[in-house]
Chains A and B, each alone.
Chain A
Amino acid sequence: MRKVIRVFCILFLLAILWSCADKSRAQNEPEIVVGIEASPSSLDPRLARDAYAVQIMPLVFPGLFRAGKNLEPEPDLVKNFKQIDDRTFIFELRPQVRFADGRELSAEDVKATIESLSAAGINSPYLELFERISKLEILGPTRLKMELKEPYAPILVELNLGILPAETARKKTSLAAEELLGTGPYRIESWVPGTEIILERNESYSGPKPYFKRIKFRIIPEDITRLLSLEKGEIHIIQSPIPADELARLKLNPRLNVSERPGINYSYLGFNMQDPVLKNLKVREAIAHAINREQIINCLLKKTAVKADSLLSPQHWAFEPEVSRYEHNPDAAQSLLDQAGFPDPDGDGPLTRFKLSYKTSQNQSRIWIAEAIAAQLRKVGIDVEVRSLEWGTLYSDIQAGNFQIFTMTWVGVVEPDIYYTIFDSESLPPRGANRGRYSNAEIDRLVRAARITQDRAQRKMIYSKVQKILARDIPYLSLWYSEDIAVSDKRLLGFELGPGGEWTSLATARFQE
């Protein structure tokens, strides 16, 4: 027994020594620590599709194009390009762009990266990009010709795919994050899933030398802990989601800087268009009039969102302001429900017109919003059962069409072709995201036409019509656009969030001396 106790004590002391070991590195050069909510699923640009990865990726793996200020694609690794016809493009890459190992970027790397999307075992979510291309031809060290199988207007947006060196892209096995080299201002130094990602300055970077030697992304899942870590100075910057209740307090902190700007993340209430009650347009209109979005934005979201009437945000080049709007009007809602054949059985009494099931995630803020919407709908005689489901179950139910109403958010809406993915009658899950099984021949015709229309003004006209029809049909009830909020150490200068929350400008930011 004494032996057992002795061994236990030795193990315990070893554990203490292990814990006491200082695992941090000596600090000579400036480093910035960013607090993020969750770990990316992958740091391979061909695989990464979650928001956390997409926000970090451009620092390491720039693509041929990126989203510009008004969300139009603008050249990134491309110096200039020429569109020969509606299917053929010639790209000229920027000269002397180097990977982190010092090797120069070539057209061969671009070709190999795109071709690797179809490699067995990669299972890239961006396979569709490869499938659209019929031929990639190398015309010179930095010149590449791309031919599409059929005209596809959003192709430049999809070419934001991060480019890998050809020899890396051609490897059949999955690679450690540290082996993935890009041409961005940083390289991946290490990645401990669930703990941290450390980026180190790419000394071969052809652009201006970044001020920060390292960017450390620390994964802190709990909102409050993330905020407290920022207040304590353990991390230097965080971005949304930030609990709305805490913002006022953070704004009073003299050490912190809160920056807010209109965002493009779109929250909506989705309807099941095959549901016997909800397929009636008057019911959907009644629900739209019954919900008081301003009240929720002011009270629950503390004015950190802006009321939405369309999926595309007002700063988007294709945004259409002249669409049907549904102001809060409980009387109109009641009248519409009466007309729809759902009279109130007992006026102000306890009986309701009908009952709806409302599915949402287990995020506390989502549950509060669902309960607020349910309370507003009860006022017009619609009984709502709020069901808060774990994410995997909710996603599975929504995809299978096993719901009546639900709320979700589309994050980083940049390319209006998203209308095809969400509302075309052939885009049913799992192939697309028409979760409510909406079907409208006119919408099908328009979103398909917009995909092959190259002229920007013509596309804008088509999407204007799409937005007007959808606002009238209400397969989605637009709720709000969440503001992009970043809270940072006041010493941090020159930082601005990218349109999709990208951390790209950390490469040009610095601490005030």
Chain B
Amino acid sequence: MRQYLVRRVLWFFPVLFGVSLIVFFFIHLIPGDPVMVMLGESARPAQVQALRHSLHLDQPLYLQLLLFFSDLLRGKMASIFFQKPVLDVMAPRLIATFELALFAMAIAILIALPIGILSAFKKNSWIDFASRVFSLLGVSIPNFWLGPLLIILFSIILGWLPVSGRGGLSHLILPALTLGMGMAGLLSRISRASMLEVLSAPYLRSGRARGLSEARIILVHALRNALIPILTVIGLQFGALLSGAFITETIFAWPGIGRLLINAIFTRDFPLVQACVLMIAASYLTVNLLVDLCYAGVDARVRLWREK
């Protein structure tokens, strides 16, 4: 297993290198000059030149690329806008986004799994119909609509929860619910389909014949075998949550990495954009690795490494 892990982690580097190259070239293709955004129209030509030089923007592109890798490897990348090391800028944002994504994921799993299982178990009943309507609504309702709606209901009308900001648990509920609902819709659909496939398997019939309770059959035997596609979706969605929570973060004034990245693009803060994208890519890779490891834990037939 150790060898497998080392091999997978070593694969991170060429992938991250490729991502860095793509981001580097794409960000330099976007029109807009970070120096002019920063200094404005009152800047003197000498001043523009000095800042351009200090940011290496007066160098040929290949040299800029080399300098970018050099700064990256030495941990010297600094945000143009904040004039601070990118890690100092990103770290608190990443923690905030991770916190939000984790809660959204927990909410999605807690809602979607029971609904998906129940829906598959009571196939074609009104429960199944209601769960399918729920999943359709979950994937269809956009966050920019659901977020304000939840704020109006829970904060303004009922007065139970704060409108925005990051503080205690109460601040986390509404943004996590907004993010989690969409994922819950998708997960309940996948859970239902996966459970339906497993529920018709012969080993469950033999379990019933052996007198096992229905709850044990479903929760232990069926669910375990239905988990692989669910885990895949959870992994992918968690990666997407880390990078794609921009709308929810904006609505709830949540200081996350999505908002930071979008603002960095608007201000042409090249180093910060590159660092954010690299961080998001690394998160995706890590989550995928964890999901692959979970496959092996859930299903004994899956072996990711050769046993000696």
Contacts and interface: CB of A to CB of B under 8 A. Distances in A.
Given A219-B253, A225-B253, A193 B162 contact: no
A342 to B, nearest CB: 31
Contact of A19 (B45, B163, B164, B168): B168
A5 B109 CA distance: 14
Contact of A20 (B48, B83, B169): B169
Contacts of A221: 250, 253, 259
B255 A131 contact: no
A222 interface: yes
Contact of B44 (A15, A131, A222, A421): A131
Interface in A27-79: 41-42, 49
B307 interface: no
B70 interface: no
Nearest to B96: A195
A18 B99 contact: yes
B132 interface: no
A174 interface: yes
A51 to B, nearest CB: 12
B99 A121 contact: no
A123 interface: yes
B18 interface: no
Contacts of B252: 225
Interface in A351-407: 390-393, 395-397, 399
Range class of the B interface residue count = 35 or more
A192 interface: yes
Contact of B103 (A19, A41, A395, A432): A19
B50 A232 contact: no
Nearest to B299: A1
Interface stretch (B149-157, B183-191, B197-205, B211-219): B149-157
Interface string A198-236: 000000000000000000001111101100110110100
A125 interface: yes
A16 B105 CA distance: 13
Given A392-B266, A395-B36, A123 B50 contact: yes
Contacts of A24: 167-168
A188 to B, nearest CB: 15
B67 interface: no
Interface in A97-142: 120-121, 123, 125-128, 131
Contacts of B45: 430-431
A398 B199 CA distance: 63
Contact of A220 (B40, B164, B260, B293): B164
A396 B31 contact: yes
Interface in B221-273: 250-253, 255, 259-260, 263, 265-268
Interface string B6-38: 000000000000000000000000111100111
Contacts, number: 159
A196 B219 CA distance: 46
B120 to A, nearest CB: 23
Given A128-B42, A234-B164, A123 B47 contact: yes
Nearest to B34: A392
A2 B99 CA distance: 23
Interface string A229-259: 1011010000000000000000000000000
Interface in A409-467: 421, 429-433
B36 A430 contact: yes
Interface in B74-108: 81-84, 89, 92-93, 98-99, 102-103, 106
A228 B167 contact: no
A218 B165 contact: yes
A23 B167 contact: yes
Interface string B141-185: 000000010011001100100111111110110000000000000
Nearest to A402: B31
A12 interface: yes
A140 to B, nearest CB: 33
The winner among B36, B42, B81 for most chain A CB atoms within 10 A is: B42
Contacts of A120: 50
B149 to A, nearest CB: 11
Contacts of B63: none
B136 interface: no
B43 interface: yes
Contacts of B43: 125, 127, 430-431
Contact of B31 (A16, A131, A397, A421): A397
B165 A234 contact: yes
B42 A395 contact: no
Contacts of B267: 41, 392
B193 interface: no
A22 interface: yes
B152 A127 contact: no
A193 B89 contact: yes
Contacts of B89: 193
A427 to B, nearest CB: 9
A192 B253 contact: no
A41 B82 CA distance: 6
Contact of B99 (A15, A193, A395): A15
Contacts of A18: 99
B237 to A, nearest CB: 16
Contacts of B36: 395-396, 399, 429-430
Contacts of B171: 19
A284 B30 CA distance: 32
B41 A421 contact: yes
A193 B47 contact: no
B155 A1 contact: no
B207 interface: no
Interface hub of A194, A195, A421 (most chain B Cβ within 10 A): A194
Nearest to A428: B41
A4 interface: yes
B146 to A, nearest CB: 13
A394 B227 CA distance: 48
Contacts of B297: 1-2, 4-5
Contacts of B167: 22-24
Interface string B96-136: 00110011001000000000000000000000000000000
B5 interface: no
A21 interface: yes
B47 A127 contact: yes
Contact of A396 (B32, B99, B169): B32
Contacts of B83: 42, 174
Contacts of A430: 36, 41, 43, 45, 48
A128 B41 CA distance: 12
Contacts of A399: 36, 41
Given A22-B168, A218-B164, A392-B268, 8 more contacts: A1-B297, A15-B103, A19-B99, A195-B165, A224-B251, A228-B156, A234-B165, A395-B36
18 contacts: A12-B106, A15-B102, A15-B103, A20-B168, A24-B168, A123-B38, A125-B39, A131-B44, A192-B92, A218-B165, A220-B164, A224-B148, A228-B155, A228-B164, A232-B163, A392-B30, A430-B45, A431-B45
Interface of B: 30-33, 36-45, 47-48, 50-51, 54, 81-84, 89, 92-93, 98-99, 102-103, 106, 148, 151-152, 155-156, 159, 162-169, 171-172, 250-253, 255, 259-260, 263, 265-268, 290, 293-294, 296-298
A-B residue pairs, 8 tightest by C-beta: A1-B297, A392-B32, A220-B253, A396-B32, A195-B255, A229-B163, A433-B41, A20-B169
